[in-house]
Structure 1
Amino acid sequence: MSAPMYTRPHPASTGRTVTRLPWWALALPTLAFVTLLALILNPADAHAAGGEPAITHILDAIRQVIAR
């Protein structure tokens, strides 16, 4: 005679799952975004690009609005 087997419910099915991210899971993408934004805002460092990109004008206008 076989005994009934108890199966534990999957943690996702209990409805009490809380996902906690480590601090670096938000800090690293933010740091990468800020670094890339700083590179875009300083086109003098982009030696291969000819002329001034249009995004620089847009970002300068945004920066002036924020600075007011």
Structure 2
Amino acid sequence: MSARSHPRPVPPVHSGVEIRLPWWAIALPAIAFAALLLLLAGPTDAHAATGPGAVSQVLGLVHQVVMRQGA
């Protein structure tokens, strides 16, 4: 009776790791970080802002960018 030979391990074809993320996986955390930073660095007086606030301006710009990407 002959002994069984062990099969050779097959080397991986592609050894590098490639991860592809959608654009929003990077954009959303960056936008959230920027919004929190603006909230922390914004004016401390409630009556100081007479025009649209910085947060609403940033959100408006984000909305415009998202609408252009979706079209």
**TM-score if structure 1 supplies the norm length?**
0.40
**TM-score if structure 2 supplies the norm length?**
0.39
Higher helix share: 1
Instruction: Tell me: higher relative CO, structure 1 or 2? Use CA pairs within 8 A at least 6 residues apart.
Output: 2
